[in-house]
Structure 1
Amino acid sequence: MSIAKKEMLMELIASLDSSEKRFFTRHTNRTASANSDKFYRLFRHLSNGGTLEDPGLQKLLDLSGPTQLVNIQRHLYGQILDALRLQHRRRDPGVQVREQIDYANLLYDRGLYLHALKILARAKELAFSFHLDLHHLLIIDFEKTIESRHITRSSTERMTSLTSESRKRQEVMSSTVRQSNLQLTLQRHFIEHGHVSTPREARNFYALYHHYFSDPVPATATYKERVLGHQCRFWYHYNQLQLDQAKVHTASWTDIIEARSELRERDANFYIKGMDRRLLVAFLLGDAEDHRSIYARLQEFLSHTQGTRQQRNSEIMAEIVLFRAELNQLLLDLPGTCAPAQLREIGKRIGAVVGVDRHKQLVLYYKLAVLCVLNGERQLALDYLEPVLNERSTLRYDLMVYARLLQLWCHYRLGHTEFVDYGVNNLARYLGRIGYRSPYPSLILQLLRGLLRSEEAVARANFAERVAPLRENVFHLRELRYLNVDQLK
């Protein structure tokens, strides 16, 4: 097992819980070899907090040369993965099916092709039950290979059935691949361009969507085809801020998964992501009750989910989704009733978030800063905006722009007029340089200029008049939801 970086071994060992470490120890003892003592000593050294740079490591492992350590690392990495596969295979039908296919290959290579067919039949049942379409297609292809090369005493109906089944799986795979490609294409379009905002963009977006996909998903579609179909249609409507339609498809997405509890348990991420989209739509619609109901349902599901370290992705995703939903619920309910201690506690929890993309953590800091301003805690808001404003990696323009606008508002309310005067001009130049499409940030800057000139009544009246058309335009709904100046204190 080759590994690209030594950090990968450190990260893998750090991800193990105590039961997995005990299982690895037993697995090593059962499969002891001449080199097992060295790689197990390295495992104990690293799991107890040691590093690969420790000067005493060469003596501990009795190394004969610098390349031997690299070989031991590679071997240890592979042994840990073998142990994890053995320990968690009963929880993952995909691993079980692949294991059965491997056994069938071994039997076939020994000339026991009838034995292989029996194992493949069991594996195919499992693949069909859990909608493992690719595995299913591989099994059918293997069965066809055996039937075409050997005398198996099968009837001609068996061969016809295999041909028909193969054609059906091919159609299903073609459909799921096409829809998963479309889902990624629509998601990438949103990341790169944001929401559709002009008739021309809408026409291009319509053409992009229908190049890959035709509505509706047929009634005979498989579980995965139906879920992917609703995913695609969610992104199609969400990118155009057609939130009522997006709401319908996120509900269908999660309802289909809820109807198959065994599949929901197997791939919790699929369900959590759907609930996250439902929460997002409810927040943008300003529907506090619907958001609260969805939030409670997700909490209920996660409280009864048997967590294991093997499901680390699900745990990390659930943590960030619940955290964002908690902040959004506070923003939807009574945002001006949070105590300073409560806000600081949330800040500590955000700082402790690990294992997620940095951008997601910074969005949490921004939402907390907005919540602080709504509660009159402007200095505290500036503290939580600092990680966003000091981030050196590339951020989405909208997050940076609205973080800077909120910073200027806080400084204005704190009486730091010189800073605000400089910051307004600096941000105006930045908006021009990046070609920011929405006029909303510029209107906020004009409001701040008027407030600096002590023309508050006139400035607010002009701002209200110019913002009114934006409030009627659905394409400005998202930014008004994330920074509503009328609510700021």
Structure 2
Amino acid sequence: MKNRNILTDNLWALIKSLTASEKRQFSVYVGRISANSDSKFIALFKVLSLQKEYNEEAILKSTGISKEQLSNVKAHLYNQVLTSLRLNPSKRNIPLQLREQFDFAMILYRKGLYQQCLKLLDKVKTQAIAFEEKNIGYEILDLEKIIESQYITRSRNNRADLLIAQTNELTYLNNIASQLSNLALDMYNTFLKNGYARTDGETQAVSKHFFKNLPDFDAEKLGFREKLWLYQAYLWYSFITQDFVASYRYAIRWVGLFEKNTHLIAVHPVFYIKGNHYVLESLYYLNRVAQFEQALDQFEHIMSNEQIPEDDNIIVLSFLYIYSNRLNLRFMKADFSGGEELLDTIHKKLDRYKDKIDEHHIMVLYYKIACYHFGAVEYAKCIFYLKKIINSKTTQIREDLMCFAHVLNLAAHYQAGLDFRLEALVRSTYNFLIKMNDLHEVQKALIGFLRNMSNISPLRIKAEFKKLHATLSLLEKDPFERRAFLYLDLLSWLESNIQDRPIAQIMAEKLKKNQQRQLL
């Protein structure tokens, strides 16, 4: 596209995101003043709405806007579209409504209508506290104190003491919430960048950092918002340290907050959805198949709840979480057949939402798809998706995901019989893992095995597989090596080669034995 800049990209993306009803709302909004009927920003809106690709020459030709005017008209149109969306009933969420009422109170204050202002502020403050919008509540208290300090209300004697007490309470809670949200974000960022702790030293460093930054608080005073950040911080800390029992416990508490405060689901639907997703994520790593399947059914039912708004953000999150967990369920049940419809739906939705999904989440899906094809003995397709990850130039991909993509790529090439490429791949994978400082005993054993394959007699291959299996069986018990087995069931892969049976069959038998043990 020609002559593109940030403003153009933002405006283009905003207009293309509008639904038919939102476009009608915009037309009604700008048509409320007759003078707008011939405005240049409306002409620009109509042209952009119809264009399949941005074409500046066509815009200038059909709108009468000069090249010098275009930038200002775009900026004005962008603001007008946002204003229209703000007024759209479907976008009128609680924070926007509270903010609007506070703005009205400020207008009343500046008009000198202090009693009307205080009455409105008192009502909005009650709502703000009820809906956990404590930052707005703090702003309301500030305005109430300004009015009180002017000695113009002749309010009751204890009014000042009440405002001071309320301010102190909100100051404490806002401060705790700020520290906890910082800690939760810090843990999330650490997990996205590095994945799970790789050594005892890393675990200790993460633990020291976590508890050093965990603020002192009175648990009895914490409200919904503060507990939400607390549970998020502990959840990410538990993921990093591979304590999946704890991550499940905190995910359940996270969801439980909303189930005790159902009026807040519509206010914070993203957090409610994410909490349910992390319940599933924890159950996946704990390999609790029956619980996972039940939780997934419940999650899909939750997504049809009328309290969950149908906006673009929710739709994309719903796609990512539901389909990622549907793939996880197939891995847990060792079901690698009949997944063509599921994969086809994932590809179609990825194409539809590609502009709204970050690179990391796309690559996570690609890795899961590659694992599915590996289990289905479709090695060429597995390699195809792994190459998308390995060749990606983005810095958003989690380091451990990239590392295990390289390892799985080696296994897939071996299984596909692409021996002529194996030596070069082993060398490049080894160099990559050294560079990433991620060469662990599991990876050393696998790379060493594949490196020596060309020197092993066909009659000795099964014996070498058995030796590698014995080595990895011991490593699986090591808490800092077992993360390799979270990404790829290496032991089942080896057993399938030793026994000349499909990997899915081996995994299904293990699943059955595991279920029987859980029933005892």
**Do they fold alike, i.e. is TM over 0.5?**
yes
Change (3 A) 1:324 1:206: same
Separation (CA, whole Å) in 2 of partners of 1:277 and 1:418: 42
Contact 2:176 2:217 in 1 (8 A): no
1:384-412 CA distances to partner (integer Å, 9 max, x unpaired)?
A: 33322332223333223322322222222
2:427 aligns with: 425
Matched ranges for 1:398-417 at <5 A = 398-417=400-419
Range with bigger deviation, 262-271 or 52-61: 52-61
Separation (CA, whole Å) in 1 of partners of 2:441 and 2:108: 68
1:244-266 CA distances to partner (integer Å, 9 max, x unpaired)?
A: 11211110111111222221122
1:61 aligns with: 63
Separation (CA, whole Å) in 1 of partners of 2:102 and 2:225: 22
1:447 aligns with: 449
1:410-453 CA distances to partner (integer Å, 9 max, x unpaired)?
A: 22222221111221122122222332142222222223234442
Change (3 A) 1:242 1:462: same
Query: Out of 452, 470, 473, which is 2:475 matched to?
Result: 470
1:353 Cα shift?
Answer: 4.2
Change (3 A) 1:202 1:289: same
1:366 Cα shift?
Answer: 1.4
* 3-state DSSP of counterpart to 1:82: helix
TM-score by length of 2: 0.87
1:319 Cα shift?
Answer: 1.1
Separation (CA, whole Å) in 1 of partners of 2:376 and 2:477: 28
1:386 corresponds to 2:387:
yes
Contact 2:7 2:74 in 1 (8 A): no
- The one-letter amino acid of 1:114's match is Q
Separation (CA, whole Å) in 1 of partners of 2:426 and 2:327: 28
1:22-45 CA distances to partner (integer Å, 9 max, x unpaired)?
A: 111011111343586211111111
Separation (CA, whole Å) in 1 of partners of 2:482 and 2:259: 31
Separation (CA, whole Å) in 2 of partners of 1:379 and 1:352: 25
1:113 aligns with: 114
- Which 5+ residue runs of structure 1 have no aligned equivalent? none
Separation (CA, whole Å) in 2 of partners of 1:370 and 1:131: 42
- The one-letter amino acid of 1:456's match is I
1:315 aligns with: 315
Range with bigger deviation, 176-185 or 222-231: 222-231
Among the aligned pairs, what percent are the same residue? Answer: 25
Matched ranges for 1:46-85 at <5 A = 46-49=48-51, 53-63=55-65, 65-85=66-86
Matched ranges for 1:67-466 at <5 A = 67-88=68-89, 91-214=92-215, 218-305=219-306, 311-338=311-338, 343=343, 346-354=346-354, 355-394=356-395, 395-452=397-454, 453=456, 454=458, 455-466=460-471
Separation (CA, whole Å) in 2 of partners of 1:103 and 1:36: 31
Change (3 A) 1:60 1:50: farther
Separation (CA, whole Å) in 2 of partners of 1:52 and 1:265: 36
1:121 Cα shift?
Answer: 1.4
2:492 aligns with: 487
Change (3 A) 1:209 1:230: same
Range with bigger deviation, 119-128 or 138-147: 119-128
Contact 2:266 2:308 in 1 (8 A): no
Range with bigger deviation, 192-201 or 378-387: 192-201
- The one-letter amino acid of 2:46's match is R
2:45 aligns with: 43
Separation (CA, whole Å) in 2 of partners of 1:374 and 1:408: 15
1:153-187 CA distances to partner (integer Å, 9 max, x unpaired)?
A: 20121211111111111111011001001111112
Contact 1:251 1:278 in 2 (8 A): yes
Separation (CA, whole Å) in 2 of partners of 1:217 and 1:293: 35
1:265-291 CA distances to partner (integer Å, 9 max, x unpaired)?
A: 221100111112111111111111121
Separation (CA, whole Å) in 2 of partners of 1:83 and 1:123: 24
Change (3 A) 1:139 1:4: farther
Change (3 A) 1:377 1:227: same
- The one-letter amino acid of 1:37's match is S
2:25 aligns with: 23
The alignment covers a number of residue pairs equal to 485
- The one-letter amino acid of 2:462's match is A
Separation (CA, whole Å) in 2 of partners of 1:104 and 1:341: 55
Separation (CA, whole Å) in 2 of partners of 1:342 and 1:321: 14
Contact 1:100 1:123 in 2 (8 A): yes
Separation (CA, whole Å) in 1 of partners of 2:228 and 2:307: 24
Change (3 A) 1:138 1:341: closer
Contact 1:104 1:116 in 2 (8 A): yes
Separation (CA, whole Å) in 2 of partners of 1:271 and 1:94: 17
Separation (CA, whole Å) in 1 of partners of 2:147 and 2:307: 40
Contact 1:90 1:96 in 2 (8 A): no
Separation (CA, whole Å) in 2 of partners of 1:117 and 1:344: 58
Contact 1:45 1:51 in 2 (8 A): no
Change (3 A) 1:132 1:458: same
Separation (CA, whole Å) in 2 of partners of 1:339 and 1:86: 44
Separation (CA, whole Å) in 2 of partners of 1:298 and 1:128: 29
* 3-state DSSP of counterpart to 1:475: coil
1:15 Cα shift?
Answer: 1.0
Change (3 A) 1:19 1:126: same
Change (3 A) 1:363 1:161: same
- The one-letter amino acid of 2:420's match is E
- The one-letter amino acid of 1:438's match is H
Separation (CA, whole Å) in 2 of partners of 1:216 and 1:173: 12
* 3-state DSSP of counterpart to 1:479: helix
Contact 2:30 2:36 in 1 (8 A): no
Change (3 A) 1:244 1:147: same
Change (3 A) 1:299 1:123: same
Change (3 A) 1:379 1:50: closer
Contact 2:194 2:400 in 1 (8 A): no
- The one-letter amino acid of 1:41's match is A
Change (3 A) 1:204 1:412: closer
Separation (CA, whole Å) in 1 of partners of 2:226 and 2:359: 32
* 3-state DSSP of counterpart to 1:472: coil
Separation (CA, whole Å) in 2 of partners of 1:17 and 1:303: 20
